[in-house]
């Protein structure tokens, strides 16, 4: 039986894959994320039982009807949450070990994105989820990992560390790395390559679907206002500056921001602007240069071509 585990990363089109590429493929049986999280994520380290998880997975096989079918686990939380730095890397490493103990012969799909765009996208998502910090405070407030509360971590996006660990467990031939920038450039070509690399049946009608953005981001204008209105939303642990919670207020604000962000002028301004100033970009470049050079060697690809921060950028 063909088994694929797609672990993210966040902000690389994971919702698109879950809602369209996997769910609409006639030869794919996508396991419900709530089930994946119940079995793998919502169990303490001393309580996780590989034998029980193996029995659970055996039950999932009943949804596979032929040798051509694929059973797919897809959850970006398996690579660690972006707002907690994967809990200092503990979570990502623990999940890799758990997955290997249950499915040692699985194919692993890991999707990456250049850290300039990744970090800006993560911050926009932070505001969308209720955050209030400005981007400099969000990125640098804690000066390294602090185990006592959720926080951003630059180390979380040193992709080669997690990739090397998965290779050490599952073997290099079973690890498939896909570049978000290739998907954004040409989704049709990317999906054809994706299917071929995994030896998954190619489905043309999926490639012809409406390619609208599945998970819309907040614009720069909406971020400006949301940092204030989020002070009245206390339902997400990433927001540590809530004044008091007003029921339904956040839902109303998000509806307003969605309308604002669909205005042509706002879209135009957002495409021209960036939240990363020169100082932040320089820090990102210095932090990830060596990591991305190592990753380029692993992949046999010059990641400079895709805008990844490295020593001599194109």
For the four alpha carbons of 67, 68, 69 and 75, in that order, the dihedral sign comes to positive
Q: Collapse the DSSP code of 39 into the 3-class scheme (helix H, G, I; strand E, B; otherwise coil) and give the result.
A: helix
E strands of 102-154, at which residues?
107-112
Helix %, strand %, coil % for the chain, to 5?
A: 55, 10, 35
Residues contacting residue 292 through CB under 8 Å, at least 6 positions apart: 115, 160, 303, 308, 309, 310
**pLDDT tens per residue across span 250-296:** 999 999 999 999 999 998 888 888 999 999 999 999 999 999 999 99
Q: Collapse the DSSP code of 133 into the 3-class scheme (helix H, G, I; strand E, B; otherwise coil) and give the result.
A: coil
**pLDDT tens per residue across span 136-175:** 999 998 666 667 777 899 999 999 999 999 999 999 999 9
Report whether pLDDT(300) > 70: yes
Report whether pLDDT(102) > 60: yes
Q: In what order do the strands lie in the sheet with 175-179?
A: 28-30, 70-74, 2-6, 107-112, 175-179
Q: What's residue 291's pLDDT?
A: 97
Q: What is the CA radius of gyration of the chain?
A: 20
78-104 average pLDDT score: 91
Beta bridge partners of 74: 6
**In this prediction, what percent of the chain has a pLDDT beyond 70?**
94
Q: What's residue 290's pLDDT?
A: 96
Nearest C-alpha neighbor of 154 from the set 142, 167, 163: 142
Task: For residue 118, give the DSSP letter.
Answer: H
Q: How many angstroms separate the CA atoms of 188 and 209, rounded?
A: 10
- 131, 238 contact by CB (below 8 A): yes
Please give the mean pLDDT across all residues of the chain. 91
83-111 average pLDDT score: 92
- 85, 155 contact by CB (below 8 A): yes
**pLDDT tens per residue across span 62-85:** 878 787 799 999 999 999 999 887
Report whether pLDDT(209) > 60: no
């Amino acid at each position: 039986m063909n088994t694929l585990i797609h672990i993210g990363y966040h902000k690389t089109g994971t919702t698109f894959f879950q809602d369209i590429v996997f769910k609409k493929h006639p030869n794919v049986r996508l396991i419900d994320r709530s089930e994946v999280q119940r079995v793998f994520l919502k169990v303490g380290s001393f309580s996780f039982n590989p034998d029980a998880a193996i029995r659970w997975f055996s039950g999932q096989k009943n949804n596979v009807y032929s040798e051509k079918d694929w059973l797919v686990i897809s959850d970006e939380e398996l690579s660690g949450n972006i707002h907690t730095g994967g809990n200092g890397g503990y979570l990502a490493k623990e999940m890799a070990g758990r997955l290997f103990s249950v499915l040692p012969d699985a194919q692993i799909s890991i999707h990456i994105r250049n850290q300039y765009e990744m970090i800006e996208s993560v911050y926009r998502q932070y505001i969308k989820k209720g955050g209030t910090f400005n981007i400099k405070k969000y990125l640098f407030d804690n000066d390294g990992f602090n185990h006592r509360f959720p926080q951003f971590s630059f180390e979380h996006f040193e992709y080669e560390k997690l990739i090397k660990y998965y290779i050490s467990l599952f073997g290099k031939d079973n690890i498939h790395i896909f570049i978000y920038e290739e998907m954004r450039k040409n989704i049709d070509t990317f999906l054809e390559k994706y299917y071929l690399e995994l030896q998954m049946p190619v489905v043309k009608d999926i490639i012809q679907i409406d390619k609208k953005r599945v998970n819309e981001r907040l614009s720069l204008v909406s971020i400006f206002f949301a940092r204030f209105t989020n002070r009245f939303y206390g339902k997400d642990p990433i927001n540590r500056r809530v004044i008091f919670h007003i029921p339904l207020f956040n839902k109303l604000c998000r509806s307003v921001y969605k309308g604002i962000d669909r205005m042509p002028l706002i879209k135009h301004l957002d495409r021209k602007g960036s939240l990363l100033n020169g100082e932040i970009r320089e820090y990102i470049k210095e932090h990830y240069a060596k990591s991305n050079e190592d990753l380029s060697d692993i992949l046999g690809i010059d990641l400079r071509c895709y805008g990844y921060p490295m020593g001599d950028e194109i």
